[in-house]
Structure 1
Amino acid sequence: MWPLFTIQSRELTGRKIISRNLFLLSFLILIISHVSAAPIIENDVKLTNTTNANHPSWSPDGKKIVYAANQAIWIMNSDGSGQKKLYDGMAWEGEPVFNEDGSKIYFAAESKKAFSARYISIHVMNSDGSDGVKLTENSDCRNPAVSPDGNRLVYSSRESGNYDIWIMSPDGTENKRLTDSEGDENSPAWSPDGSTIVYSSMGDIFTIGINAVRPVQLTSDTYNNIEPSYSPDGNSIVYTSNVGGDYDLWILSADGSSQMKLTNYPSDEKAPVWSPDGTKIAYTSNKDGDFNIWVMTVKDSSIEPDKVEEVPVVNEKVINNEYVLKLRDYAANKPREFIGIVLLGSFLFVVLIVGTFLRRIS
């Protein structure tokens, strides 16, 4: 039997065996596998036209998006209309999120006491921008996220020296530290059932139960994997990674067993968060120059990592070839065009093999 991806051509006399590795066939299988596994972005719309817009967050009903831009907190309709500045304390404000019923917005802001250094604190205000209250003092506290039931607030704090994950009541009381490591833990987000928190630490994605002792590591590579967020069904986690050099959006199964690339633009895409109905992802990107808020519509069946088969490792030289990697990314972004190219290439390849065989037996 012929070895996989190898053709052995035998002369009729049996005195000579020609065996060669089919780099092209390996390449085609790799590309076709990648195309079949690629998620389909049906729509990708730019919502803002400003500078340094970042950290979008959906309202629970999916009708509003709160975000930060130019060191202030803004809100808009989910289609980009009705953009309005909610809060500008003349210092840095960012990382806004809605509470469980959309009536309040939590955010981080730079603070300063007399004769002391500046620090970042967590604030809360009504969703119309009124009645702002500071909840934390002294040490840096940021990245707030409200639990699904509204009873707890997770955040990252430098109270112990480096950033750890903490939980407190929505009014700023009953603080409890969840993690304690030598590295920084940031960007915590709740699972839909409120039992687990996902976060990033030292370039990898981790989860920890609210009553657990040890975290669970989901990624383990040399890249910077940050800003994780659960899907509404809890099966997947969208996050940011610089695997290709630029920051792109990736999707990871909730248990860390599989992952796939969602975007591949020559720019940075960051801070992704799913819409409440799971059909859209809001994020920030500088693909038009300045960082702005974008929303993509993603086909549900294509973004579930547990339904995506791993790309087969058919040839190490193929996997590591820079031109193949570029073509693979092209296949992910323009699957219809590339499928046509692959089919034409496959046809020509078959013609070449058949022609060679016929010449040898003639």
Structure 2
Amino acid sequence: MKTTMLSLMHLCLLVLLMACSKDKNGGGTGGGAQGTLYYASFKGFMKLDLRSGQQQQLIDIASMSHQERFDVSRDGSEIVAYEESLSSDQVTFTIYTTGGQVAASFQVRQYVNGVPRISPDKSKIAVIWQPASTYPRKFMAVFTRSGQQVAGFEGVSDYAWLPDGRMVMTAPGGFYLSNPQLTSASRIADVSRFPDVPGQLDVSADGASVLFTSNYHIWVMNPDGTGMRQLTNSDVKEWYPAWSADGKKIFFTLDWSGNCKEIRVMDLPGQTVTIDPHTDAVAPRILSDGNRICSASRPMVR
């Protein structure tokens, strides 16, 4: 009986070690998150399977004019990016499949900035546009996949789609929420409490929460502008917050070591947490082959 018990203990220990080893080598990459991570490296637009650690370059972006300006559709089937001509008077939007093939493209005239955002049904793309005819006035313009402008809101600083087709936006006057037809917007919250105009908005897949940044720290609020609270604090820059697909984790980039904005992940905290860039406490690094990942774009998990 004693020998049998020892054998069982050895067997349980062996199973436990194998499980831990499997988690370290196959999991661990994404801090317990699941799904596919999309991000812009220095040379390519990449996807990384957070469970297996398998990585693939989808688009060669080494020569692109704006390597940080990408969006991936919520269903993970399409990518949108844009490039400017040398004179900046011609901007080409390209929609790719997540296999890297071109699905559609269109052009607009001067000047475009901000991150393009694909609507939930993938029929429209939003971006900040400064047409030459009204320059320097700027608009959050919405285009169809063929390049037809169908909506616009003047003076918007940043924006994100809700699942029902509405848009939440920031401007010097506050946070705004559009109607589904994109014909009007109402102010839902003041921004006077912030030292800057909040930006880098990201809406959770269920539409229940909105991430944004102010003064390089991450905040969250309800889509009606209530429930604002600060999630992170540090002596460095927490940038580009983005929800995981299940809404339980937050991915972001931490800018603290020169040219590398390393991707971090954390659970949604119940109170403000302090990020220490020198450790993996609270917000561990996302690794690929044991190396940290540097991203020029918002890290998107689909």
> Which residue number corresponds to residue 230 of structure 2?
261
For residue 258 of structure 1, give the secondary structure of its aligned residue in structure 2: coil
Alignment RMSD: 3.0
Instruction: Indicate which of 41, 48, 69 corresponds to 1:76.
Output: 48
- The 5 A counterparts of 1:1-362 are 63-70=35-42, 72-78=44-50, 81-84=54-57, 86-88=59-61, 90-92=63-65, 93-112=67-86, 116-117=87-88, 120-131=91-102, 133-142=104-113, 143-159=115-131, 160-161=134-135, 162-169=137-144, 171-180=145-154, 183=155, 185-194=156-165, 196-202=166-172, 204-211=174-181, 212-221=183-192, 222-224=194-196, 225-242=198-215, 247-289=216-258, 290-298=260-268, 302=270, 332-333=273-274
Cα separation, 2, equivalents of 1:262 and 1:77: 26
For residue 179 of structure 1, give the secondary structure of its aligned residue in structure 2: strand
Pick closer, same or farther for the CA change 1:165–1:46 going to 2, 3 Å.
farther
Does structure 1 retain, via aligned residues, the 8 Å contact 2:71–2:81? yes
**Amino acid across the alignment from 1:275:** S
Does structure 2 retain, via aligned residues, the 8 Å contact 1:74–1:87? no
Q: Give the CA deviation at 1:259.
A: 1.1
For residue 193 of structure 1, give the secondary structure of its aligned residue in structure 2: coil
Cα separation, 2, equivalents of 1:133 and 1:260: 39
Does structure 2 retain, via aligned residues, the 8 Å contact 1:286–1:292? yes
| Gaps in structure 1 of 5+ consecutive residues | 1-44, 48-61, 304-328, 335-362
Cα deviation, 1:29-83, whole Å, max 9, x if unaligned, reads xxxxxxxxxxxxxxxx997xxxxxxxxxxxxxx6222222337533222366415
Cα deviation, 1:118-163, whole Å, max 9, x if unaligned, reads 5544221121222375422322335222222223222221124233
Does structure 2 retain, via aligned residues, the 8 Å contact 1:232–1:278? yes
Q: Give the CA deviation at 1:268.
A: 0.5
Cα separation, 2, equivalents of 1:283 and 1:263: 11
Does structure 1 retain, via aligned residues, the 8 Å contact 2:72–2:78? yes
Does structure 2 retain, via aligned residues, the 8 Å contact 1:203–1:226? no
**Identity of aligned pairs, percent?**
22
Cα deviation, 1:162-206, whole Å, max 9, x if unaligned, reads 33112222x2333123312xx3x2432111222x20123238433
Does structure 1 retain, via aligned residues, the 8 Å contact 2:221–2:228? yes
Higher strand share: 2
For residue 286 of structure 1, give the secondary structure of its aligned residue in structure 2: strand
> Which residue number corresponds to residue 283 of structure 2?
none
> Which residue number corresponds to residue 18 of structure 2?
none
> Which residue number corresponds to residue 20 of structure 2?
none
**Amino acid across the alignment from 1:291:** K
Q: Does 1 or 2 have the higher relative contact order (CA < 8 Å, sep 6+)?
A: 1
Q: With the length of structure 1 as denominator, give the TM-score of the two structures.
A: 0.57
The structure with more radius of gyration: 1
| Gaps in structure 2 of 5+ consecutive residues | 1-27, 276-302
> Which residue number corresponds to residue 318 of structure 1?
none
For residue 215 of structure 1, give the secondary structure of its aligned residue in structure 2: strand
Pick closer, same or farther for the CA change 1:285–1:253 going to 2, 3 Å.
same
Pick closer, same or farther for the CA change 1:249–1:73 going to 2, 3 Å.
same
How many residue pairs align between the two structures?
A: 236
Does structure 1 retain, via aligned residues, the 8 Å contact 2:77–2:97? yes
Pick closer, same or farther for the CA change 1:110–1:132 going to 2, 3 Å.
farther
Q: Give the CA deviation at 1:248.
A: 0.6
Does structure 2 retain, via aligned residues, the 8 Å contact 1:145–1:155? yes
**Amino acid across the alignment from 1:76:** L
Q: Give the CA deviation at 1:227.
A: 1.1
For residue 232 of structure 2, give the secondary structure of its aligned residue in structure 1: coil
Pick closer, same or farther for the CA change 1:174–1:210 going to 2, 3 Å.
farther
For residue 291 of structure 1, give the secondary structure of its aligned residue in structure 2: strand
Pick closer, same or farther for the CA change 1:134–1:152 going to 2, 3 Å.
closer
